Structure 1
Amino acid sequence: MANDLNQVMLIGRLTQDPQLRQISSGNSVCNFSIANNRSFTTNGTKRDEVSYFNCVAWGRLGEIINQYCQKGKQIAVTGRLRQDSYTDKDGRKVYKIEVVVENMQLLGRSGEEGRESGGWSQSGAEGQGGWPPADNGPVYGQMSPEPAMGIPSQFKPASSLTSGSGSNPYQDNQMMPDEDDIPF
């Protein structure tokens, strides 16, 4: 058995509003595309390159993308590439590649609602898929649109540094270096 890897991470803007539909099994599927801009310099000239990626999200994640995203919204997605093929009307086999989205993170501010960024995971486990929680707003985990209140404990400052107003956290420390020992 091979240890192959198929993982994609993209940040870009939606090129159109997402399209949500129900398939015969009752599952939801959401199709959308992301434009990804890249700037580079060639022979002293700054150039821009835009790549477009077709994406698909299944189930609750697809419903959330359809509900919270619209054309122009910047998002980050992780997932995998899937190749599909079909025969066109002229009998030629056509191949297409799309990103199967497993995690999504809203970036920037939402226009009219004024909500800040948040993220959803297809697997329902916050923080999986390579995207850390956003530090500029509430994080939405478990594919639930209810915000998780507060800051995760690993990101909170030590309580001794936040208690008191303007107190010196080193006031009881007997191990302060002598002024002659400071190298600058």
Structure 2
Amino acid sequence: MILIQPKTVKLFQTPFDGLELKSSGGGQVNHVSLIGRLAGDPCLRYTAKGTAVTGFVLAVERLLQPDDQADRAVEFIKVVTFGKVGEACSGHLYKGRRVAVEGSLRTARWQGEDGRVRQRVEVVARLVEFLDGKRKNDQGNEENEAAG
């Protein structure tokens, strides 16, 4: 019996052409690639140490039946970004903007106001690619997207 444990996987069918994934050991990979539209404007905050944290919800369509292109559902996925990526997202993203997100899954846990422990799975994005053009104002002209 031959056991093969790949250490690197190359993906070529995403906007992140040539992206290499590193295994965390044991042949396991925690990687997510999504393309969708923002369900709302991003929210920027800073940690006590001054690190930018931007969160947004990504609406991603999925087919309900593989052979039926018309039968779709939408998944709403929480995405968080940190540091310079977070600041760039805060300055350039808005509701409806189409983006590609690459990152990993993590389970966020917190205590709710009722004292119960809550949790959700979210994507920690290390790369966010803006896929459509700049936002247009009410007159149909492109607005300047300079951050800050």
Q: Same fold (TM over 0.5)?
A: yes
C-alpha change, 1:77 and 1:86, in structure 2 (3 Å) is same
1:14-25 mapped onto 2 (5 Å cutoff): 14-25=38-49
Q: When the two structures are superposed, what TM-score results if normalisation uses the length of structure 2?
A: 0.69
1:55-74 mapped onto 2 (5 Å cutoff): 55-74=79-98
1:46 to 67, 70, 86: 70
TM superposition shift of 1:44: 6.8
SS of 2:87's equivalent in the other structure is helix
* Deviation >3 Å, runs of 4+: 39-46
Give me the identity figure in percent: 31
2:133 to 103, 109, 126: 109
TM superposition shift of 1:85: 1.5
SS of 1:109's equivalent in the other structure is coil
Could you say which structure has the larger radius of gyration?
1
- Unmatched segments (≥5 aa) in structure 1: 116-144, 146-184
Moved more, 80-89 or 36-45: 36-45
TM superposition shift of 1:45: 9.0
C-alpha change, 1:46 and 1:23, in structure 2 (3 Å) is same
Which amino acid is 1:69 matched to?
L
Let me know the Cα RMSD of the aligned residues.
Answer: 2.4
Give the structure with the higher percent helix: 1
**Total equivalences in the alignment:** 116
Which amino acid is 1:79 matched to?
G
Alpha-carbon deviations, 1:4-51, whole Å to 9, x = none?
Answer: 210000000001111111111011110111000123448979322000
Q: Is the 8 A contact 2:102 2:127 kept in 1?
A: yes
Give the structure with the higher percent strand: 2
Query: Which fold has the larger relative contact order, with Cα–Cα distance below 8 Å and residues 6 or more apart in sequence?
Result: 2
1:1-184 mapped onto 2 (5 Å cutoff): 2-41=26-65, 46-112=70-136, 113=142
- Unmatched segments (≥5 aa) in structure 2: 1-24, 137-141
Alpha-carbon deviations, 1:28-75, whole Å to 9, x = none?
Answer: 110111000123448979322000100100000001011111000000
Which amino acid is 1:53 matched to?
I
SS of 2:56's equivalent in the other structure is strand
Q: When the two structures are superposed, what TM-score results if normalisation uses the length of structure 1?
A: 0.56
Q: Is the 8 A contact 2:63 2:69 kept in 1?
A: no
